[in-house]
Amino acid sequence: MAGSLNSNTESDDLVESHEINVTPFIDVMLVLLIIFMVAAPLATVDINVDLPASNAQAQPRPDEPLYVTVQEDLTVSVGDDAVNHEQLAAALERSTDGDKEARVFLRADKAVAYGDLMTVMNLVRMAGYTKIALVGLDAAPGGAAATTVEPAGEAQP
């Protein structure tokens, strides 16, 4: 309820004004609009990503690297020996003489699905080996394929 003061001394009653002041309402709405305009693009989760090729410098390989290989038919091999998923931990123990700090080089056929590769990586992690490097091929400038090793970092248990 708004009122106005007149210099009329005849009446002691204040006259009501029937106008609404919308300026604060507009200010609040503009602030909310700006907040949603900034926050809406940040809230998107489904983004199609075309991942770039890695151009990181290749890491030097150890004298006797321990390769875990996932073939197209999902056969897993430790070194040159094919093993079952259940026997992977024991095969890693034998190959590293129980050294859990040994780096494991994980390589997979490009036809292997990402989920299957992650399953094998999780099995290696559950066996206690947290230093896992991913092995891939990068096209060299001359067109020949060169092997690169990308350290995946230390996996979180």
- Would you state the pLDDT for residue 56? 67
* Mean pLDDT over the full length of the chain: 77
Give the relative orientation of helices 114-126 and 88-96 as an angle to the nearest 10 degrees.
60
Distance CA 137, CA 54 (A): 10
- Would you state the pLDDT for residue 155? 47
- Would you state the pLDDT for residue 32? 93
Least-confidence region, from 89-93, 116-120, 142-146: 142-146
- Would you state the pLDDT for residue 119? 92
pTM score, whole prediction: 0.53
- Residue 154 tokens, joined: 């230390």
